[in-house]
Amino acid sequence: MSRWDWQEEAHSFGAQPRSFLDAVVTDERPEEEYDLDLVHAVHQRLITEIDPKKLGQLPPGQAYEAVISAGKRTLADVAPQVMGDARDLVLDAVADEVLGLGPIEKLVRDPAVSEVMVNAADLVYFEQAGVIYKSRIQFRDDEHIMRIIQRIVAPLGRRVDESSPYVDARLPDGSRVNIIIPPVAFRGPIITIRKFLGDKYTISDLVNVATLSGTVADFLAKCIQAKLNILISGGTGTGKTTLLNALSAFIGERERIVTIEDPAELKLQQEHTLGLEVRPPNIEGRNEVTQRDLVRNALRMRPDRIIVGEVRGSEAFDMMQAMNTGHEGSLTTVHANSPRDALARIENMVLMAGFDLPVHAIREQVASALHLVIQIARLSDGSRRITSISEITGQEGSTITMQDLFVFERRGVDEEGRIQGSLTPTGIRPHFHELFRAAAIDLPIEMFMRSA
């Protein structure tokens, strides 16, 4: 059975493939090494011997076997002294060059790796369980990296060259890739791949990994059902989209949901979900479709809920307008390090829309549109935790007023370096409990007591 067949069979039965990290990439484990120059020599010979069109028409397993078979003949010719396990490593690396993403193919395939970062030919990093490690995987040189970059962008209908030195796109499996090359990246081409996680995290999964408590999970589920407008705030890689996915499960099946993303990452399970994705400009710089275009169009699609994967610019104005004109229960995320910073970013984005509005009017809109700000962070031990849940209570003068309903209380660090703590109620009851009463949803006062 080939590598590809085994992976597909393991996935179909819910099994986890053996982690490549077990043998290769962490500095604490022995590495399986092969000669990069030998792999290059075999690969160059195969390019002239194998018809790529015919190879592309074969199923993955057969394509892999065809490359291995041709590779064995070539290797026997150029390096007959290479035998046994060393030969298998070279052949496997050649297959990755022909069919995959070269040296980083195994990292991209590994289910334990959440992010792959190529900083230079000899500087490849990966993220596992929230912690970044340096891999001993290497490229031959910058030209090798550029060849893999072209392998990535060509099927996507995108280009990257001196006139267009960076690209942000979605791979066929849903993973996000960002590429930037010289002269902008003056030290050499850079690849960053944030992998698509096939398994959808539920709110129970997040409770199990201590991202939030059971009490808070129950509270947030009720907030979704009561159609509160919620903003999830956090830094890069903190799990904003994962939390948004988990919370979306509490949206009713009878509601019409429109999602707007750049790129598409959400995996909503409701049948009545319409997914929209931005479109970058083409080679001539035309036909771009922005998030703002999609938000404005979504308002004409009779949505019950609008979910924007992440607000980044002027679409924040249309989002606030929608929340203030009857589109309750909207959800979105924003890059910010605190709830107060999140509101400031939304304010700045509304200003980017180009309307000549006074700051006081913008803050009034934000205060009336949003009900809740959930702050999530990645802690020093790599864990992702909700650090606060804050209610927006209104506006006093030119200041948006907020109050914390739950805050993360840190208790220390255990022997293994894991941060100990929990999300604890502050004892303050939210002002929006009337919305729950109108929706016939029970919101026990005990949920907000310190003893909870």
CB 91 within 8 A of CB 46: no
Q: What structural domains does the chain harbor?
A: 3-194 (3.30.450.380), 203-448 (3.40.50.300)
CB 384 within 8 A of CB 211: yes
The model's pTM is 0.75
Q: Which two tokens stand for residue 289?
A: 């479709």
CA 448 to CA 445: how far, in whole Å? 6
SS3 168: strand
Query: pLDDT tens track of the chain, all 452 residues?
Result: 333 333 333 333 233 333 434 334 444 433 456 678 888 888 888 877 777 777 777 787 888 888 888 888 888 887 888 888 888 888 888 888 888 898 999 899 898 898 999 999 999 999 987 788 999 899 999 999 999 999 899 888 788 888 889 888 888 887 889 999 999 998 999 999 998 765 567 899 999 988 999 999 999 999 999 999 999 999 988 889 899 999 999 999 899 999 998 877 888 878 899 999 888 877 677 788 988 899 989 989 999 999 998 998 888 988 888 888 778 899 999 999 999 999 999 999 988 887 778 888 899 999 999 999 999 999 988 889 999 999 999 999 889 999 999 999 998 888 888 899 989 999 999 988 888 888 888 888 888 888 64
AA identity, residue 441: I
Residue 302 CB neighbour total at 10 angstroms: 8
User: Which phi and psi angles does 318 have, rounded to 5°?
Assistant: -70, -35
- For residue 44, the surrounding DSSP H or E stretch is helix 36-49
